[in-house]
Amino acid sequence: VGEAVKQGKTIIIDPVTRIEGHSKITLHLDEDGAVEEARFHVTQFRGFEKFCEGRPFYEMPSLMARICGICPVSHLIASAKACDALLAVTIPPTAEKLRRIFGLAQVVQSHA
């Protein structure tokens, strides 16, 4: 996992790999060298929580897909479900199956 540097009583893992986005982990050690506190620092921040406000709901699935280029389908489907809830609708069984296939296809692609 990245480059682990021990600096006094803090171990820094930077960058954290195998995740989307950028982050680092700091482990703060006590006098006996045991972990006193572990912190996960998200070093990439884009502000989705704010900039989605006021936009049409039907933009959300394709916009949420851009949260993560590795697992865009997960975010797209989550957003589509939120939009279903907004509209108080239930999708037909065929659509449900299509979403499942879509999700599984992402897993296949990630591990191909």
Q: What's the closest the beta carbon of residue 112 comes to other proteins, in angstroms?
A: 9
x/- string (CB under 8 A) for other proteins, residues 11-50?
Answer: ---------x-x-x-x------------x-xxxxxxx-xx
Phi, psi of 67 (to 5 degrees): -65, -40
Site size toward other proteins, by CB under 8 A? 23
Asked if residue 24 lies in contact with residue 39, where contact means CB atoms within 8 angstroms, the answer is no
Task: Please tell me whether residue 69 binds other proteins under the rule CB under 8 A.
Answer: yes
Residues 111 and 71 sit within 8 Å (Cβ to Cβ): no
**Which amino acid is present at 9?**
K
Listed residue (65, 33, 34, 31) closest to 48, CA to CA: 65
23 sits in which H/E element: strand 23-29
Q: CB nearer to other proteins: give 55 or 97.
A: 55
Q: Which is nearer to other proteins, 12 or 83 (CB)?
A: 12
Q: Which residues bind other proteins (CB under 8 A)?
A: 20, 22, 24, 26, 39, 41-47, 49-51, 53, 63, 66-70, 72
